[in-house]
Amino acid sequence: MNEPVYLDDSRNALIALDQTLLPHEQHRLELTTAEQVWEAIKTLRVRGAPVIGVSAAIGAYVAARNIVATTLEGFTAEFSKLCAYLNSSRPTAVNLSWALRQMQSALRGDTRDAWLESLRECALEIYRNAILDTESIAAHGLTLVKRDCGILTHCNAGRLACMGKGTATAPIYAAHDAGYNPRVYADETRPLMQGARLTAFELHQAGLDVTLICDNMSASLMKSGAIDAVFVGADRVAANGDAANKIGTLAVAILAKQYCVPFYVCAPYSTIDAGTPTGADIVIEQRDPTEVSHMWFSRPSTSPGVKVYNPAFDVTDAELITAFVTERGIVRGPYNFFG
């Protein structure tokens, strides 16, 4: 099984590749309780909006197997508590609450076996659709890619974050398969290095031409004409087209505008949140300061007591986005996703 997360029925477990150990170690976790799934999402062992959604769905199903209630009413109440708990693991990626809502609405049947089967079916449908979405994003995104072009991406919206072909990487994989020879530049993505540890790793493994750059190098690359397009993912897209993605994405979008480089956000509809009117309404996760000051360094990078600001995401204004690439097609502004 090549997907980063999947259901193992024989062990009633969510199997998850521990992304905190990549690229050096490929270790699969076997998660069977709500606490284990919550911890895996919180600490980014599983990460990326679509994979968080799939993990929550499968995780909710396997954890529901531990519920002892004997009536549908009792089971439903316990399952709602379980979903609320999983939903508290990370605030920004809307696929988490979206998947858990789907699971809660799917719960039905007359017996305990039937309740569990309805949850299993829903989790597997979310899993399968996540993969199919990336295939469609690949096909639509390919129409935006030229031969021998330079593509910049930020963070990791690849298969590790999104299943299948990834979202931001889907047009890139499609271009590679079509013989277009794309040259990919991967921002390393401080502070958690998803670009270096995950994007460069997965593209290199797949045989693509990928070059790792520090986050502060994209301006000069764009100015030099090496970048023909930017493809990034999203964690939550507001109804007006403002898009939250990994911290640093906004800076890339502003640079792209300056140097007339098209800036595309690739995301499935499960990442578009009709209930969030604008980017100002998106809750931005604040993470542990030590991710900035201690992680990756053999000694802390700063003096003890220095204040650290560590937002995990920023919001790119809709007007900086050339188009969204979704599984339903390419959507251009003014944005009206559900109209």
Looking at the annotation, which residues are catalytic?
Answer: 235
Q: Which residues are 266's β-sheet partners? A: 325
Q: How far apart are CA 333 and CA 159, in angstroms?
A: 27
Query: What is the identity of the amino acid at 161?
Result: A
Answer for which of 188, 235, 242, 314 binds ligand MRU (CB under 6 A) is 235
Q: Which of left, alpha, beta for 208 (phi over 0: left; psi -120 to 50: alpha)?
A: beta
Q: Are 204 and 282 in contact (CB under 8 A)?
A: no
Interacting residues with ligand MRU between 45 and 74 (CB under 6 A):
47-50
Question: In sequence order, which residues have a C-beta less than 8 Å from that of residue 227 and are 6 or more positions away?
Answer: 150, 151, 152, 185, 218, 221, 256, 259, 261
Can you read off the two tokens belonging to residue 279?
């980017």
Interacting residues with ligand MRU between 30 and 49 (CB under 6 A):
44, 47-49
Residue 225 burial (C-beta neighbours within 10 Å; 0-12, 13-18, 19+): exposed
Interface pattern 191-220 for ligand MRU (x via CB under 6 A): ---x--------------------------
Q: Is 22 in the site for ligand MRU (CB under 6 A)?
A: no
Torsion of CA 246, 250, 255, 256, to 10 degrees: 80
Which stretch, 22-30, 97-105, 137-145, 232-240, contacts ligand MRU (CB under 6 A)?
232-240
Integer angstrom CA distances of residue 14 from 127, 164, 165: 12, 17, 21
Interface pattern 137-156 for ligand MRU (x via CB under 6 A): ------------------xx
Interacting residues with ligand MRU between 281 and 320 (CB under 6 A):
312
Answer for which of 245, 270, 276, 322 binds ligand MRU (CB under 6 A) is 245
Considering the complex, state which of residue 107 and residue 144 has its C-beta at the smaller distance from ligand MRU. Answer: 144
Interface pattern 163-192 for ligand MRU (x via CB under 6 A): ----x-------------------------
Considering the complex, state which of residue 133 and residue 228 has its C-beta at the smaller distance from ligand MRU. Answer: 133
Which stretch, 99-107, 169-177, 230-238, 272-280, contacts ligand MRU (CB under 6 A)?
230-238
Answer for which of 106, 161, 175, 196 binds ligand MRU (CB under 6 A) is 161
Q: How far apart are CA 240 and CA 29, in angstroms?
A: 38
Q: How far apart are CA 133 and CA 107, in angstroms?
A: 24
Place of tokens 């360094």: 297
Considering the complex, state which of residue 122 and residue 267 has its C-beta at the smaller distance from ligand MRU. Answer: 267
Considering the complex, state which of residue 13 and residue 163 has its C-beta at the smaller distance from ligand MRU. Answer: 163
Helix ranges (DSSP H) in the chain: 34-42, 49-64, 72-87, 94-106, 112-142, 159-162, 170-177, 194, 200-205, 218-224, 249-258, 290-293
Considering the complex, state which of residue 240 and residue 245 has its C-beta at the smaller distance from ligand MRU. Answer: 245
Torsion of CA 229, 231, 237, 240, to 10 degrees: 10
SS3 state at 310? coil
Considering the complex, state which of residue 120 and residue 287 has its C-beta at the smaller distance from ligand MRU. Answer: 287
Which stretch, 6-14, 143-151, 176-184, 226-234, contacts ligand MRU (CB under 6 A)?
226-234
Answer for which of 162, 250, 282, 318 binds ligand MRU (CB under 6 A) is 162
The footprint of ligand MRU (CB under 6 A) covers 44, 47-50, 155-157, 161-162, 167, 194, 232-235, 245-246, 312
